[in-house]
Structure 1
């Protein structure tokens, strides 16, 4: 690869070869676009507005990644023409000096590992200039100044491949996240059906008095460890791994939500499980998004993958620590709800009623937890995409994976975080965040919400039309505007025309 000759340009290439390549690329793009269109059409037919908006956001994220790739293509020559000194370019390498020297000396070998290593040096080597068909002029220009390119043409091409791999992993992780979350919440449908049975109504008799600690919710959350905040966090930390959402917690939170936000006697009529599903679909728009702060953290991740920082020992654990902290906080919120029930009295009538409130969440913002989940999911997808890209480009035994522990940690953490976040924490978030102060608009189904919006818009337009018609009639008749008409300014009567008002 180091001594590759200049390749043929398009003027030396058969037109049929160019046409075949363009036809295949266009065909693949049309097929992908048609598939996305059919998925969106199916979501609109099923009245899945939130999922359709999430699909549109995924399309916009893919367009952003494609735009980044286009900028790299257009600016490839400009970036390669930037020359920097060898002293500056010799810092922050993924390989150490001994590894780079051994790779340079093993250039005569022609095996797979050596080939991958030589490709790695295209972006990390500073003492040796590699001439490529697309960057020969820029590298010769820098070599004449005893400098090296800022980023070589090969390095930019490898970034193109990384962007493609990142796009694939981002889409797969979005689909897998929603699928695992819905699979976990599907088991709640059975509990929801039990609320309509006679056995449930008998066991939850509203006229029965019981001690708070004797209820199922009290036995689970009221114990000696709840009096100590440290023990509470330790117990709640382990609870997210075993029955993170038990039946008693689901039914108790359901009853508390209905009592706080809905009319009386709605316990057996309201489908709480469907409401949570609609709320999760609405929040999924945030999960699939890539905000500027997350992009900034992803760039920091690329920066820290340098030799001597031992990034494989701490970078993969950051998303794991964040998601474990979020899961523990959600369990603590449920326990604190139980403590508040006990503080109101040792005897409860009927089912224990939890009181929703934003003060239970960090900074009184339940939605902050969703942003943390979004950060964890994208960073996990980014790290696995980076691992797959370095494996493909430079081999499994490259400088990026110098130790076997690196490979084991990255793969195991990627799988563990995805399962833990999608199957455990995300459903728990969907349930606990319903205990906020405000009720979400997804309390109405898609058709009812659309009908209410249309009614509101129609009423608003009718009011504006009537108001404008009344003012125009008065102006044409040249009459003073009466204060009784809507939208008219208040009139001040003369002093002699004022009548005294008497109050009984």
Structure 2
């Protein structure tokens, strides 16, 4: 049997040139990555992108945290695998059914998870993957708390999570910038004579007859149920039309700068900087979010059918957030009408903290942060399980699982990055002072 199984050599039996080459390649790759990171940080600092630079530093710290977790797993692999628990406790909360586990165990023993054997100079045979701690637990009629091979798989998951964390940060900023790019044309339009003539500050009109009024002051605006229904669908089609952008721009300038700044002030650049500030919060991973990620791992238990409900939690949250932001804009329009039926010039919106949940505008940003990370975490978990166990594993007992998780992941990323986050920057920054700029 020993001849049929592959042998593994320790470093004392490995050529020094092989060890040196591996170390050289690892060091070279690390130096290149470190140099690229340094150049990116230097470029952001040179372009005076302070918020993006801080976000970049936060991403680095989060990746370093994941690396530290991986290091702790490496150091604690032996002590953890030596912890023994009873078979009754170990048989609970498994991701696979018992029949599936029996089949997987049989396939595992007949393929790549066989015990590797190594012959020492005395021709004695010793086990490599089946560690001494497993033998100790078996002698006590117990099993290891987490096997050494299981910890090795966790190493791979930490790496995949780090990659997905960086990817979702890049995609989030790219989609948000793409959405805001069309706002630049609207900003340039405010410099034209036609715009100044059509928005004559001395012109009197009924509030409901303005472009902003026709969009927001309707019969459904006064019914909370209909208001939420209409705003729910608005976030999918023209979530930020030109009339909303120009009206919110006017409200911000009148509140913080004065009417003489209408032509000179670049509101689009201000919102871009505001988005970068929001992005700095979005890329962070708070202890609460880490705790929710652990609960997500816990929920992948046989019988819970988590694939039918877990991916929809971030979707529901982001849809509620997008609808709430649309409701806030409409309520600002209702306040214009409450102040009087006739308006002078462009309708003047007056946002307030009371329009937000619990009077906490930052709560919406934290919800966006939660949704984005949980979405990236679920996609990373999906990619890891597909790589480690294949598409037919018990993690994906039904093909609908993979389809739902991928489709929800893509949909949530687009909704969050392309629609909700730019809209949040526009709505919340209108109420802020110019000092933040």
Deviation at 1:15, TM superposition (A): 1.1
Asked whether the 8 Å contact 2:220–2:226 carries over to 1, the reply is yes
Write the distance in 2 (CA, Å) between the matches of 1:282 and 1:222.
32
Residue 325 of structure 1 aligns with which residue?
A: 320
Write the distance in 1 (CA, Å) between the matches of 2:382 and 2:422.
28
CA 1:73–1:6 in structure 2 vs 1: closer, same or farther (change >3 Å)?
farther
Deviation at 1:109, TM superposition (A): 6.0
Residue 7 of structure 1 aligns with which residue?
A: 8
Residue 48 of structure 1 aligns with which residue?
A: 49
2:436 to 421, 424, 442: 442
Write the distance in 1 (CA, Å) between the matches of 2:382 and 2:371.
16
Matched residue SS, 2:260: coil
Deviation at 1:6, TM superposition (A): 6.8
Residue 119 of structure 2 aligns with which residue?
A: none
Write the distance in 2 (CA, Å) between the matches of 1:108 and 1:42.
52
Alignment of 1:72-471 (within 5 A): 72-106=73-107, 133=128, 135-436=130-431, 438-439=432-433, 441-443=435-437
**CA-atom RMSD in angstroms:** 1.7
Write the distance in 1 (CA, Å) between the matches of 2:127 and 2:6.
7
Write the distance in 2 (CA, Å) between the matches of 1:386 and 1:41.
33
Write the distance in 2 (CA, Å) between the matches of 1:62 and 1:107.
33
Deviation at 1:266, TM superposition (A): 1.1
Matched residue SS, 2:262: coil
Deviation at 1:9, TM superposition (A): 1.6
Write the distance in 2 (CA, Å) between the matches of 1:25 and 1:132.
28
Matched residue SS, 1:181: helix
Write the distance in 2 (CA, Å) between the matches of 1:274 and 1:146.
67
Asked whether the 8 Å contact 1:77–1:135 carries over to 2, the reply is no
Write the distance in 2 (CA, Å) between the matches of 1:4 and 1:174.
44
Q: How many residue pairs get matched?
A: 424
Matched residue SS, 2:343: strand
Question: For residues 203-235 of structure 1, what are the alpha-carbon distances to aligned partners after superposition, in whole Å with 9 as ceiling and x for unaligned?
Answer: 000111111111000000011111110110010
Write the distance in 1 (CA, Å) between the matches of 2:263 and 2:190.
6
Gaps of 5+ in 1: 120-130, 444-504
Write the distance in 2 (CA, Å) between the matches of 1:107 and 1:264.
73
Write the distance in 1 (CA, Å) between the matches of 2:109 and 2:131.
22
Deviation at 1:13, TM superposition (A): 1.4
CA 1:354–1:4 in structure 2 vs 1: closer, same or farther (change >3 Å)?
farther
Matched residue SS, 1:308: coil
Matched residue SS, 2:263: coil
Deviation at 1:386, TM superposition (A): 0.3
Deviation at 1:104, TM superposition (A): 3.5
Matched residue SS, 1:265: helix
Write the distance in 1 (CA, Å) between the matches of 2:434 and 2:283.
20
Write the distance in 1 (CA, Å) between the matches of 2:358 and 2:109.
61
Asked whether the 8 Å contact 2:187–2:266 carries over to 1, the reply is yes
Matched residue SS, 2:302: coil
Write the distance in 2 (CA, Å) between the matches of 1:4 and 1:343.
82
Matched residue SS, 1:352: coil
Write the distance in 1 (CA, Å) between the matches of 2:400 and 2:5.
36
Gaps of 5+ in 2: 115-125
Residue 458 of structure 1 aligns with which residue?
A: none
Write the distance in 2 (CA, Å) between the matches of 1:107 and 1:365.
53
Asked whether the 8 Å contact 1:279–1:440 carries over to 2, the reply is no
Deviation at 1:356, TM superposition (A): 2.1
Question: For residues 337-380 of structure 1, what are the alpha-carbon distances to aligned partners after superposition, in whole Å with 9 as ceiling and x for unaligned?
Answer: 01000111111111100012111111212111111111011000
Q: Which TM-score applies when normalising by structure 2?
A: 0.94
Asked whether the 8 Å contact 2:249–2:430 carries over to 1, the reply is no
Asked whether the 8 Å contact 1:80–1:153 carries over to 2, the reply is yes
Write the distance in 2 (CA, Å) between the matches of 1:383 and 1:6.
37
Residue 25 of structure 2 aligns with which residue?
A: 24
Alignment of 1:49-68 (within 5 A): 49-68=50-69
